[in-house]
Structure 1
Amino acid sequence: MNNPTPAPFTPPCFEFDGQPVPLQPGDTILQAAQRAGHDVPHLCWHPDVSASASCRVCTVQVDGRPVAACTTTAAAGQRVQCHTSELRTHRLHLLQMLFVEGNHFCPGCEKSGNCLLQEQAAQAGMTELHYEALNPERPVDASHPDVLFEPNRCILCQLCVRASDEIDGKQVFAIGGHGIGTRLLINSESGQLGDSNLDVTDRAAHICPVGALLPKRVGFAVPMGQRTYDNEETRG
């Protein structure tokens, strides 16, 4: 009597915009979807540090319920929707608010072409601010010999906070304040970056998705046409 051929192993999956996505133990929705080649818009997520769900740009609907894809555990059988018209509108408004809450002038920023905020705005089809610009007064901190802190571009993603804590072990940064007064704090007696123990080789000095933390003397080193997002279809 012949033994029956065992059925091939099928990994557990969830549905992402109608497509099956295999998952591994401990996966978040964002991790599994990105690994499967799906785009999940995000700003405050980075694979090198823990997730915080602070920006909510990665919001998806799981079985009809809105959740942050970067912190929600993936489970077999979930029905995840990411690119509905409702969620696209939600992301567009979030991005517009980020632009008016700070002072973002993309043509004059050395991060242009490598800026995740700029790219997400382009993907969302953002063509105007919609809301009234707040134009906050935020003085630039150039006190560090090797790293510039430009708070006008900070989107409070907390990536530098987590990188300094989890990777560098220094806890140079923190978030403080409330409402429009919320800001990135620097762990030094003066509150200046130059008086902190940040080093230009620290991961926190390079993880910023926008142009808030920038190594000095390397501005515009990558020519146009070779930057991360220069050749994206969304650029036209």
Structure 2
Amino acid sequence: MSVILVFLLVIAGIAGWWLSHQRLMSKPWLEQGSIGDFIASEQSAMPTAKIGMGVFLAVVGCLFALFTSAYFMRMALADWQPLPIPRLLWFNTAVLVLSSIALQVALVASRKGQLDTVRLGLATGGLTAIAFLVGQLFAWRALVADGYLLAGNPANSFFYLITGLHGLHIVGGLIGLGRTSYRAWTTTRTDTLSLGVELCAMYWHFLLFIWLALFVLLAGWAADFIDICRQLLT
């Protein structure tokens, strides 16, 4: 429950920040100046696509929070046997970090009008994301070869479920990234790419954050941290 509360507080904070930037307390009937000036100020607000992305990421965050809470509750039972974390996951994590960095580079380049760098960043981000997915499949294959089957233990089931769900979100992100990359290779202007690249970067940074949290959870460090906190509180 504590994990869910933390996610809900974070989401509430993001929602509060967004609402504070939407002129909810404004009084348009008291605005001074022409109607055109007021419409222009309204159009400068946050793009609808960016708002939609924020809402979607909040929902995804709640979904992973629920799975995390279920993971903690299930691991307290006697039949729980945690499986070893494949070393390949360290490499996969580094690859996903590189993918997120590449998209951040593309975002900065799009704001500076550097089209070639935007294309390079998008291509690097997409290829490293695919490499991450391939690495996850190889990690699954290694675990199956060692006898850690899906139905062998609840810990195994949770591992495949959580990592598979994260992988599906990566696949969904690749679809959006592919569309943005296509636009980057068929245009000569970067001003039309900035929003799309920013949305891809937001999504990738969020999935990196989710994966780092899942990696800590699956490696068992989260349980150790909670035990330390309980000992300090008691």
TM-score between both structures, scaled by the size of structure 1: 0.29
Structure of greater Rg? 2
Greater strand proportion: 1
Greater helix proportion: 2
Q: Which structure is richer in relative contact order (CA contacts within 8 A, separation 6 or more)?
A: 2
